[in-house]
Amino acid sequence: MATRPTRAEAFAGLSVAIVTPFKDGAVDSARLKEQIDFQVRAGTTCICPVGTTGESPTLTHDEHERVIAESIAAAAGRILVMPGTGSNSTAEAVRLTKFAAKAGANAALVVGPYYNRPTQQGIYEHFKALAEAVDIPICVYNIPARTGRNIEPETIIRLADLPGIAMVKEATGSMDQASQILAATDLTVLSGDDSMTLPLLSIGGRGVISVVGNIVPADMKALCDAFDAGDLAKARALHHKLFALGRDLLGLASNPIPIKAAMAMLGRDTGDVRLPLVSLEPPLADKLRQVLAAYGLLK
């Protein structure tokens, strides 16, 4: 569908928040490359390693940098790379974002400062420091359910005055908030919730940073492509098809517990989650198998 151009149109469509694969307690580089090759074959626009789905909170600083560097090397220019580089410490976020930029990342996905609950002015200054520290575009990742602090739309609108701020990963679940941002800025707004992709596209969003895309990227990409082509009936049918899968992959337990379990069930084992996350409990694993079977992914 015809839409006004946004600030980071290169990132429109499907981005996938990839998991961090582990083997014997360490990052599994071979499986990481397999994941990225899988996304390249699917025609995914961008991969987002070391975000929430990538278990960044339990990676060491060395591991975080290693996954960024190995993802960029494996992508080899075939797919965009937007790693997570956020922190509740501005100095640490700047350091990690500079590392990503130097390693060749195309953009940085920066979660709002968590735990220390800064004021809106503090959040503004945090992202301003990042935008001024690097030349790659910054995606503001707003997920108050995890950070403990919403980045208010007025703050994002202020941040839009900074050239380095290009995108928003909108994971508040509020269409009012997204509408306010889209009406007042040319930022590229991407859904942070699979089930909200079509609603967000309908008000001017430009795509999704997806979890279900780890297993069904073609379907999520088809939804975005159908909407862009003006085929609303197809987009709506795909939304309904994907809905239960997205709901349960994010709702059975904390992300990325269910998606890692699903990948293992589908023969793409990426290892267990790290403590304090634990594996999916047997009754929930049975429910997940039923959901995958209903979707047609398991017999």
**What span, in angstroms and rounded, lies between the C-alpha atoms of 68 and 272?**
20
The residues, any chain, with a CB within 8 Å of residue 142's CB and separated by 6 or more, are: 112, 150, 151, 156, 168, 169, 170, 171, 172, 192
Task: Name all domains of the chain by residue range, CATH numbers in brackets.
Answer: 9-232 (3.20.20.70)
Report in angstroms the alpha-carbon separations of 36 from 28, 40, 77, 88, 89. Answer: 13, 6, 11, 28, 29
Give per-residue pLDDT as tens, 106-120.
999 999 999 999 999
Q: Report d(CA 290, CA 293) in Å as an integer.
A: 5
Q: Exposed/middle/buried for 4, CB within 10 Å: 0-12, 13-18, 19+? A: exposed
Cis preceding-peptide flag for 21 (omega within 30 of 0): no
Is there a contact between 131 and 158 (Cβ–Cβ < 8 Å)?
no
Model pTM? 0.96
Buried b (16+ CB within 10 A) or exposed e, 62-80: ebbbbbbbbbbebbeeebb
In total, the chain counts a number of residues equal to 299
Tell me whether strands 138-142 and 108-111 are parallel, antiparallel or unpaired.
parallel
Separation of alpha carbons 48 and 46, rounded Å: 7
> Could you tell me if residue 128 is left (phi over 0), alpha (psi between -120 and 50 degrees) or otherwise beta?
alpha
Q: What is the largest CA-CA distance in the chain?
A: 52
pLDDT at 64: 98
Q: What is the pLDDT along the chain (299 residues), one digit of tens a residue?
A: 656 789 999 999 999 999 999 999 999 999 999 999 999 999 999 999 999 999 999 999 999 999 999 999 999 999 999 999 999 999 999 999 999 999 999 999 999 999 999 999 999 999 999 999 999 999 999 999 999 999 999 999 999 999 999 999 999 999 999 999 999 999 999 999 999 999 999 999 999 999 999 999 999 999 999 999 999 999 999 999 999 999 888 889 999 999 999 999 999 999 999 999 999 999 999 999 999 999 999 98
Place of tokens 């359910």: 145
What residues are annotated to the active site? Answer: 141, 169
DSSP labels, the chain: ------TTGGG-EEEE-----EETTEE-HHHHHHHHHHHHHHT-SEE--SSTTTTGGGS-HHHHHHHHHHHHHHHTTSSEE--B---SSHHHHHHHHHHHHHHT-S-EEEEPP-SS---HHHHHHHHHHHHHH-SS-EEEEE-HHHHSS---HHHHHHHTTSTTEEEEEE-S--HHHHHHHHHH---EEEESSGGGHHHHHHTT--EEEESGGGT-HHHHHHHHHHHHTT-HHHHHHHHHHHHHHHHHHHHSSSTTHHHHHHHHHTT----PPPTTS-PPPHHHHHHHHHHHHHHTS--
